[in-house]
Amino acid sequence: MSLENTPSDYTSSTSVEVGTNNAKRLQTVFRVALQSNKQSSGFHPRRSHKKSRAGCLTCKKRRVKCDEQKPECSSCEKRDLRCCYPSEEALQMDAHSSSGRSSKERSSSTLFSLTLDNITRDIQEALNLGVASKSGALWNRNTTLPMSTVAFHNFVRRSTETIASPAIRNVMRTDMIQVSFTSPHLMYTILAVGMLHLNRASPSKERSVAESYFWQHALQNYQKALSSNVRKDNVDALLSSCMLMSVMTVCPENFQPTDSWVLTNKPEAMNWLCLQSGFRCILTLASQYIPSSIWGTAFAGIGKEEDKIFDNIQQGREGLDPDLADLCGIDDWTTDKTSIYYSPLRILTSLLKLERDALNSGHCTSFMGRLDCDFVNLLREKDPPALIILAHWMGLMCCLSQWQPWIEGRIRGECIAICMFLEHSTNPLVIRLLRFPADSCGYKLHYNDS
């Protein structure tokens, strides 16, 4: 899925311009050569020329021809207007989005017809930004494109590529994008994720400001949307925003192991994990609407896949790692009713048995959302068995980082923090069980292993 510019003029006398006002409407405009009253011996074709995309943005907005003189074009200089030329980044995005697909492929989806100008306008309409789009938080002084357009483009073209599940990735690139044009909180969330992804790859002060701005407005609008009941007409946007917002908590800027709740004694530093349960709450509230939502088919498919992954053993130690079972006090009669550790350990065991590939890496991310409040409370209290279970999952995610690069934002650092916290334990089981997560996250344990 990509964002394409409008097709350039065809060689015939008819050209097609595909535009969008709400990412759904298609409009066709025909230009027909009219015969002159003067006598003519035949049809004179239009002289071939190359359409320039390098004119200044001010002339483009005023719909006047730009002579492309620099540093200021003649038109802007004459009228004492601010002359601003496209940056190399903008021109590359423009050129890249107009190549690589046939006209048949472009017509197969409304996203292929979106020009950068149309994207900017539609984003502004969705967010009711208007002239506010030129504010410092949304306008990059080094480019002619608003930050919102850059973030949106990056989300669709690059951020969605990191989604392991093909079904989820497809919905995010198509139906979810259409929903975002009618939902401010979802549009802000998409922009926040797109800018976060870009800012982590190429950090800058302006991108950090824009990222914070988008997240702030995403959360404000999302909380406002949650104040009303979950309904059939808003369930698609609420589910989509909730799924994407989990990215914010696991990809903070400049996270260090010493920032972890385990080492700082700051309970709020653990909010990233607590917030992962939010999606489960939305699913519960929206259960009756999900089958008919844009996510219905994708969720059903994932559910069937995970039914095959997670074992249905509801009692005892069968299949569990003996050391983990001993540390958690699990015997042949233990169930999830008698032990808080039982369910998380069963889930972890199933995930550790999976082949480590792109598709299964997506299933492994579901661990965070499956933790109940009682287990999270044990983690908050820095309970060693609970920390060991979480560290083993984090170690597994470190092994899957080539398919889940977001783990470098926080998960690897949190895993190191747990190893640092537990490495001086006097319990030999704890020390022995630290080896896998420590090796996986790249932390050298400081104890005598003789």
Residue 268 has pLDDT above 50, yes or no: yes
Average pLDDT (59-88) is 75
- Exposure string of 406-429, with b = 16+ CB inside 10 Å and e = fewer, is bbebbbbbbbbbbbbbbbebeeeb
Query: DSSP of 102-119, one letter per residue?
Result: -HHHHTTSGGGG--HHHH
User: Is residue 29 within 8 Å of residue 10, measured between CB atoms?
Assistant: no
Query: pLDDT band at residue 77, thresholds of 50, 70 and 90?
Result: confident
Residue type for position 402: Q
Q: Which of 132-136, 176-180, 273-277, 362-366 has the highest mean pLDDT?
A: 176-180
CA separation for the pair 150, 120 (Å, rounded): 9
DSSP designation for 288: T
Average pLDDT (3-29) is 31
Query: Which residues are paired to 139 by β-bridges?
Result: 146
Which three-class secondary structure state does DSSP give residue 146? strand
CA separation for the pair 396, 368 (Å, rounded): 13
**Looking at per-residue confidence, does 213 or 139 come out higher?**
213
Query: pLDDT band at residue 120, thresholds of 50, 70 and 90?
Result: confident
Query: What's the pLDDT score for residue 282?
Result: 84
Which three-class secondary structure state does DSSP give residue 413? helix
Q: Of 50-54, 78-82, 391-395, 439-443, give the lowest mean pLDDT range.
A: 50-54
Q: Domain ranges in the chain?
A: 116-133+141-253, 301-441
Which phi-psi region, left, alpha or beta, contains residue 258 (left: φ > 0; alpha: ψ -120 to 50)? alpha
Tell me which residue has tokens 């506010």. Answer: 132
**Per-residue pLDDT tens for 387-439?**
999 999 999 999 999 888 888 999 999 999 999 999 999 999 999 999 999 99
- Exposure string of 82-107, with b = 16+ CB inside 10 Å and e = fewer, is ebbbbeeebeebbeebbeeeeeeebb
Phi and psi angles of residue 368, each rounded to the nearest 5 degrees, phi first:
-60, -40
Residue 352 has pLDDT above 80, yes or no: yes
Average pLDDT (267-290) is 84
**Per-residue pLDDT tens for 207-230?**
998 999 999 999 999 999 988 888
Give the H or E element holding residue 153.
helix 147-157
Query: pLDDT band at residue 143, thresholds of 50, 70 and 90?
Result: low
Residue 51 has pLDDT above 60, yes or no: no
Query: What's the pLDDT score for residue 79?
Result: 79
pLDDT, averaged across the chain:
79
Query: What's the pLDDT score for residue 173?
Result: 93
Q: Of 22-36, 241-255, 310-324, 436-450, give the lowest mean pLDDT range.
A: 22-36
DSSP designation for 293: S
CA separation for the pair 364, 352 (Å, rounded): 9
